[in-house]
Structure formats: structure tokens, C-alpha cells
Structure 1
Amino acid sequence: MKQRFQVTMAVTMAFVLSVMVIFANPGSTYAASVDVNAKSAILVDASSGKILFEKNSDLTLPPASMTKMMTEYLVLEAIDKGKISWDTTTQISDYPYSISANPGFSGVGLRQNHDYTVRELYEAMAINSDNATTIALAELVAGSEAEFVKMMNEKAAEMKLPDYQFVNSTGLSNKDLGDNRPKGTEPDATNLLSAKSTALLAYHLIHDYPKSLDVTSMTTTEFDGQTIQNWNWLLPDMPGYLKQFGYEGVDGLKTGFTDLAGYCFTGTAKRDGQRLISVVMKTDSKEARFQETRKLFDYGFQQFKQKELYPAGYQIKDKSEIQVSKGKEDQVEVEAKDALATVVKNGDEKQYSIKYHFNKDKIDKDGKITAPVKKGEKVGTAELVYKGDEKYHNLLTGKASTTKTDLVTTSSVEKSNWFMLALGGIGNFFSDIFHGAVDTVKGWF
């Protein structure tokens, strides 16, 4: 009997503990979604900016060569503005040459007194993560790496990256650069980004310059008589034994490694029209950064789909009409101008509802709109409201993820003519007198 009681108590305690584990932190986002073995990580829907998963995503860490995404962006911007072109040529100064000649940096082996095109240098930077070609491009765009670093920080502020510090163009530690470190930066300084900032940088790179993916998707390329290889092992059709790491839909973006940063990776993949952006920082090995990214992509593509929850023209039942004052008609219908769609986790469709928000400058305190009213006139917004347990935020705004469309009228209502308005005014006048008299008489009794 005593043994049975002990067994019963053990089972009861196990149940209580399991409940405590489940409900200990009900407000925690993505608590049981995916286990990522990285110091920091994030997964984002690249279309909307909706964050699907995050782990310590605000933690500021060295991004290593993921820094080069900012250099890529500024080079592409310079090309876009006509300051340079893909065919612009430049020669290699002593600084990048010394970096290239250093076996510790394992570069592509640049030559001096030789003309390199911007395309050649860019491909070596984006595909092979070469440091010397990165510095050569920074010098070409800004005159010096120090001036380029200023551009990097200014662009980071413009992009509204939440956490950043750029001290060089490559992602190396300034300590590694020695006396070559950019003027105005500290000897022991290093670049710093959070996973959230890195994802936002990647978002801007592929949205503003989608052609960048034409380069980052290349598994190999020829450079100065040699074949150089992409460090992104998740690319499909990687050569040799690396083919086993390939992931369908991956076409970027940037690896990174230093002793301080550990193994990092910013990835992007597209399947069935849906693109994801992922970042993992400080993983344990070359292989781990891709294995953990694979987990994030599997989670994103398997669990989330873009879905239209409410069609264009949708009307909330019993709230489809608003009153009209001074019009030939007393009311007008309203509807959602466009469809309301968002990235939805499997089984969460019923967690979304729609809510109207009327513009105060259109609708008075009595809930009426004044004639004349035009068909398609915006009177407010229709918003998707999520009532589930997870807390989705938007990478671009830093706020709760929202989806809205205009709330518009379905027809026109002309203003009533002066005679009808006058009659209405007279009617209201006598109605007020009548009701006032009735109230007075009631007061006598």
C-alpha cells in the first residue's frame, strides 16, 4: 500500500512539473518552436519582415566577415549612382596587397601593378570572402578605408540598424590589421552587430539590390587564372563532398569566422515564392553554422505559409455601414480595399480577426461621415489582429507585426440640397420644442 502511494505521488509530481515547465513562462516567444545551438539567432520572412523565430537576437557580437554585406551594399550603391561601374578598373595599393600576401588571411593572391575590375574584386569578396579585395573596393569607393568606415556607420544609421559598430570594411579585428587599421578607430576595436541588425542589413541588401543574389548564388568563379569557391556550403550543387550540405532554394548570403566571433552565417532561401532570411552567430564549427541554419529553414518553410485570411471587399458583419449626415442617403457601406494576408503558422488561421479603425478627421464623435462622400473614399483602416500565444514582431519597425489595408466606402453619397436640409433643420427645431414641452409638463407632476 505504501509503495502504491509512493508511485502515485511520483506520477502526480511528474505531471505537476510538466505543467510548470509548459506554463512557467507563457509570454516567452517561440519557446518550443526549434532548438538552435547558437549564441544568437533569428529567422525572418523576407517579404513582410515578420520575425518567425529569435534567440538572443539583440545580443551584440562580432559578425566577422558578415560585415562584408555592408561593403557589398555600398559598392552596389556606388554603381547604382554612377560613381563607378562593374568595368571600372583599379590597382592594388600597399595596404590590401600586404593583407593579400599574408598567409594568415588566405586570400586570392592579389598582384600590384595590375588592373582589376570592380566585378572581379566584388566576386572575390562576396563569393570567397576575400579581405584584400574588400579593402581595395573600400579604397576605390571612398578614397580610404577610414572614409569608407564612416560611410558604413552612416548607412547603418540610415537603415535604422538597432545595434552596430563598424571599424573596418572586412570584419577582421583591428588588432589583426595592426598599423593598417582605419584612422580614427581603436587598436583593439572590432565590428559589432546583433543578429537582428545583421538580418536587417541582409534584408536591405537583397531588397534594394536583388542582383546581389546573382553573385552570392555562384558556387565557384574564375579569378586571375584560378578557380575560387564559395564558403556557403548550403548552396545547391556545391562541388565534391560539399554537395551533401546543399539546401534547396538557398542563394546567399554570407559566412563569417574569427576566433572572437566563432562561426557565423547569414543565409537566405526561396521556395514556392516564399523567401526567408536567417542569421546564426557564434556556433561551434564550420558545419554547425549550416546545420543550425538548416533547422531554421526547415522550421520556416514547414511551419509558415503566406495566406490570404480576408479577401478584398471584406465587410465585418453588422459593421458594414456607417451613418451619413447631410446626405441624400442616411448611410453608406464600407469594406476592406485590399486582401489581408500574412505569414501564418500552421493551425493558427483562427487566431486572426479583423478590426476597423476609423479616421477621426472623417468620422465625427457620433460615428457619422458628412456628405458628400465619394466611392472608394478612405475612412480608416482594416487591421489583422492576432490573438494567439506567440508574440510576433517586425524586423523593420521593431514593433508588433501588423497587417493593414484601407477601409473605403463602396458607393457615393451626394450632399442633400439646401431645401431638404432646411426642412430637416425645421423638423429638428420643432422636435426639440415638443420634447422640451413634454419634459416641462412631466416636471409639473
Structure 2
Amino acid sequence: MKKLWKKTAVIFMIIPVLMMSLMAQPASTEAAEDLGLHVDAAILIDADTGQILYEQNAESPLGIASMSKMMTEYLLFEAIKDGKVTWDQEYTVTDYTYKVSQDRALSNVPLRLGEKYTIRELYEALAIYSANAATIGIAETIAGSETKFVKMMNDKASELGLEGYTFVNSTGLNNSHLHGMHPEGTGEKDENVMPAKSVALLAYRLLKDYPEVLDTTSIPTKVFREGTDDAIKMDNWNFMLPGFVYAYDGVDGLKTGTTEFAGHCFTGTAKRGDTRLIAVVMKAVDEKGNGSYKARFDAAKALFEYGFNQFSEEELLSAGHQFKGNETVPVKKGKEKTVKAGVENPFKMLVKTTDKDEYGVEFAKGDSKSLEAPVKKGTVVGKANIVRKDGGELYGFIEGGQLSADVVTLDSVEKAGWFKLTLQAIGDFFSGVWNKSTDFVKGLF
């Protein structure tokens, strides 16, 4: 009985020690990357490569509000590039855009019924002041009607590879705010939705294809129709721009969004040195659960701080790097029997400075065991795949990028002449005969 009591006492003494030991274990990779964001979704990417640095619930479709206007901007720049629209082209205000522009509960610049405005004026109102009626005017100019423009938005989303999207209007407003004139085929209370990952991809493509958008999104303040009776000061809703209360060094875009359904959203971009980042936050709230401008800009700041302070570009593979045991690849019917193989181009990516030693490379052979001459320099023979030695997660890229580099032939090999090919064939024949003979002899013993 005494022995049993002693064992029980020892067990009760050990339990607290074990619990303290478990609590002292290092956090998992996922927990280590918890930024404490009060958002429904978030994502951070490298604007140059599309590499994902952080994501949180990034694949759930959510309301995007006026971040939708990035798609309107994309289609406008595309129409101008294709010569279908010009900056000096004039738009005549319709009943629809007039009524929306007079709704002071919405972000707008005043538009006069029947008055003409240039596309550049409307675009600046859209990009700086998130003017909704001006956005509809651009949509009508490009497609003839907002209904047709919405189809263009959805078609372009598919073409760009976005997922989980639904566009029902050009502005991102809830259709209930469009005075009963919302696009045909959409519901009265419908609203645009998209996952954070698709929002980031849209911003990524906008900056890649039309970087001039930053010339306007970076303007803190401008007067619409200065010198006229309709003049109105347009303060950019992006309060992270220089001169505003939440100014953050390097921010020069991109688009805010706020509706009751979507909450406080923001797609921001900032550049420091050679690194440009894109951050998306959706339905941001404070610690008490209240949505606000401050909440969304605080969340964006946290993402930018994480990206700029904890990541640095590292060259994980140098050009010409060869893998031990795979320095050469066999070549049939060539002047040489083998050809050197190695990494074609240096492979660089942003990695967390604190765990850059955890990144490694694995070689994966191509489908072909050998090549047949002639062999051109640069022929792909395998892949060098980037991995984490600790098994931590690698998010990958927002579009098309791969966590790998091509392993290629570093030289070319010409096809051997007929005489050498004949000698090779004879050699291969007798080599085969010899191998069969030795196998037969071995089988006797």
C-alpha cells in the first residue's frame, strides 16, 4: 500500500513539470507568423514576383466594396491602350450618374445633368476620391452601359485567373445604393465579393500591366474642376499617404473600400529600396470589434512592418550551380557521352531573415534518363526545388511563380559522325553480349 501511495505521489509531482515543459515548447511555424490582426482576411505579397509572404483566411469570398474600382481602373487603362477610349474623351452625365452623384451619403464629386466631363477628370475622381458616379460614367463610356461593363469585369476576372469573385456593379457599392438603377440581372441588395488572394492578384496585375496608376493613387489631395462652381477638394481616402494621420513611409496606393457589408477594407502598396509590397486587409476591426479607418490602416501597417522588417532577398541558388552526383547527364549518339548540367539562372526570393538557414534545395530529375544528340545548351533536364528543412510552410506565389529553378545542360553536344556512331553501336553490342555472358556465368554458381 505504501509503494502504491509513493508511486501516486510521484505521478502527481511529475504532471506539473510535464505541463510546464509542454508550455515551454517553441511555437509552430503557423503560430510564429500570427500577426494578431483583427481582420476577416489578409494577405501580403511581393509586388515584383507575386511571392506570398503572409496569408490569413485568404481564400474565403468576402465583400470588397470600393476595392472593386481596381478592376474598373484596369479595364480603363486597357481601353486606352487599345485606342477605344482617350483621356480627353468627354462623357455626358446621364440621369443615372446624376442621381448617384447627388447622394451625399456616398463618396462623390458633383456632376451636373447633361454636362460633359473628360475621362481624365472622372478617373482622377475615382482614383483619389473613390467617386462612385464618376466610376459609373467611366463604365458607361467603355461598355455603353454598366450592365455590359459588369460582364466585362467578370470576363476579365476569369482571364486574369481570379477565383471566388462576383462583380455586380462597377463601384463596389451595395446595389441598394444605386437608386433602383442597378445593372440588369443583379439583385437589389447584391454586392461585389472576392477572396483576399484574388484581390491581391488583381492589384498585382494592375501594377504589373499599368504601373502608371500610381501616378494618381499617390496624390494626397486635388481639387476637382478647380476654378469652376463645381470645384470640390478631393482628399484621398488612403490615409497612409504622406501628410495624413496614418502616413507610412513608402505608401503610394492603392484603394480603400467601405460598406456595411464589406466593413473597412484596404489594398495598400508601399515601396522601400528595391522592394515593393502589396497588402490586403478585409473587414478590419479594433480590439473591441469595431470597424474603423484606423483599424484597417493599423492592420495594413502591421503587414508592411512584417514584410519590410523580417524579410530580405536571398540568392538561394547561383547560376551554374551543380548537384553532387548529378553533375552530368548521359548523351546518346553524341560526340561526347555526357554533358554538364546545372542551374541556368540564379534563384532569388524573399525569406525570413531569422530562419534563412532553414531553406534548402532538392534536385528532381527530368523524365528523360538520357539525351540524344544533338543537344542544345540550356536544355531542361531537371528541377531544383526550394524546400524548408524544418518542414515549415512555403506559401508560394500569387500567380505563375514556382519555388524551383530549371536545371539545364551547360554545354551543347553535337551529333557524332557516322563512323563514330558505327563504333559506338559495335561497342554497345559487345558490351551487351559481355553483360549477358557474365550474368549467365554468375547464374551457374
Which residue matches 1:235?
A: 241
Q: Which amino acid aligns with 2:122?
A: L
Deviation by residue 1:327-366 (Cα, 9 ceiling, x = unmatched): 3322221121111111111133333333444443xx3xxx
1:391 aligns to 2:394 (yes or no) = yes
Give the SS at the match of 1:202. helix
> Aligned partners of 1:177 and 1:307: how far apart in 2?
50
SS of 2:234's equivalent?
A: strand
Any conservation in 2 of the 1:356–1:380 contact (CA below 8 Å)?
yes
Residues 5 and 316 from structure 1, CA distance in 2 versus in 1: closer, same or farther, beyond 3 angstroms?
closer
Structure 2 partner of 1:316 = 323
Distance 1:420 1:248, change over 3 A: same
**How far apart, in 1, do the equivalents of 2:109 and 2:164 lie?**
32
Superimposed CA distance per residue, residues 274-297 of structure 1 (whole angstroms, 9 cap, x where no aligned partner): 111111111121111001100000
| Residue 370 (1) aligns with residue 372 (2) | yes
Residues 1:335 and 2:342 aligned together: yes
Alpha-carbon distance in structure 2 between the residues aligned to 1:40 and 1:434: 67
**Counterparts in 2 of 1:89 and 1:328: CA distance versus 1, 3 Å:** same
User: For residues 130-187 of structure 1, what are the alpha-carbon distances to aligned partners after superposition, in whole Å with 9 as ceiling and x for unaligned?
Assistant: 1111111111111111111111111111112111111111111112223111111111
Describe the SS at the equivalent of 1:69: helix
How large is the Cα RMSD of the aligned pairs?
Answer: 2.7
What do the CA deviations read for 1:3-52 (whole angstroms, capped 9, x no partner)? Answer: 99989754542333454x93xxx5x7465341111111111111221211
Structure 1: state its 5+ residue gaps: none
Task: Return closer, same or farther for 1:67/1:30 CA change in 2, 3 Å cut-off.
Answer: farther
Cα deviation per residue 1:367-405 (whole Å; 9 max; x = unaligned)? 3322233334443443333444123132225xxx63333
Amino acid aligned to 1:231: W
Residue of structure 1 in register with 2:293 after alignment: 286
Deviations 1:73-113 (A, max 9, x none): 11111111111111111121111111111222242211223
**Aligned-partner Cα distance in 2 for 1:440–1:138:** 81
Could you say what secondary structure the match of 1:178 adopts? coil
Alpha-carbon spacing, 1:71–1:424, altered in 2? closer, same or farther (3 Å): closer
Residue identity opposite 1:375 in structure 2: K
Alpha-carbon deviations, 1:297-329, whole Å to 9, x = none? 000111112221211111113321122223332
Q: Which piece of structure 1 moves more, 381-390 or 107-116? A: 381-390
* 1:221 and 2:259 aligned: no
Partner AA of 2:359 in structure 1: Y
The whole-number CA distance in structure 1 between the counterparts of 2:83 and 2:51 is: 33
- Relative to structure 1, the CA distance from residue 166 to residue 426 in structure 2 (aligned partners, 3 Å threshold; closer, same or farther) is closer
Partner of 2:21: 15
Q: Does 1:123 align with 2:124?
A: yes
Partners of 1:324 and 1:236 lie apart in 2 by 61
How many percent identity over aligned positions? 46
User: Are 2:417 and 1:410 equivalent residues in the alignment?
Assistant: no
Offset, 1:117: 0.8
Tell me whether 377-386 or 218-227 shows the greater mean CA deviation: 377-386
TM-score by length of 1: 0.88
Q: Is the 8 A contact 1:384 1:402 kept in 2?
A: no
User: CA offset at residue 220 of structure 1?
Assistant: 0.8
Equivalent position of 2:274 in the other structure? 273
CA distance in structure 2 between the aligned counterparts of 1:157 and 1:176, rounded to whole angstroms = 27
Contact 1:385 1:402 in 2 (8 A): no
6 and 436 in structure 1: CA distance in 2 versus 1, 3 angstrom threshold:
closer
Contact 2:100 2:179 in 1 (8 A): no
Shift of 1:255: 0.8
Question: What secondary structure does 1:180 align onto?
Answer: coil
What is the number of equivalent residue pairs in this alignment? 427
Residues 194-238 of structure 1 show CA distances to partners (whole Å, capped at 9, x for unaligned) of 111111111111111100011100001121223211010111233
Structure 2 counterpart of 1:339, which letter?
P
CA distance in 2, matches of 1:56, 1:434: 63
Q: Unaligned 5+ residue runs, structure 2?
A: 1-8, 227-231, 285-290
Q: What residue number does 1:176 align with?
A: 177
- In the alignment, is the contact (CA less than 8 A) between 2:378 and 2:409 conserved in 1? yes
Change (3 A) 1:13 1:410: closer
After TM superposition, give the deviation of residue 55 of structure 1 in Å. Answer: 1.2
Between the aligned partners of 1:232 and 1:441, the Cα distance in structure 2 is 83
* Other structure's SS at 1:314 match: coil
The answer on whether the counterparts of 1:321 and 1:333 sit within 8 Å (CA) in structure 2 is yes
Q: How does 1:8-407 map to 2 (within 5 A)?
A: 10=16, 12-19=18-25, 22=27, 26=28, 29=30, 31-225=32-226, 226-238=232-244, 242=245, 245-283=246-284, 284-360=291-367, 363=368, 367-387=369-389, 388-397=391-400, 402-407=402-407
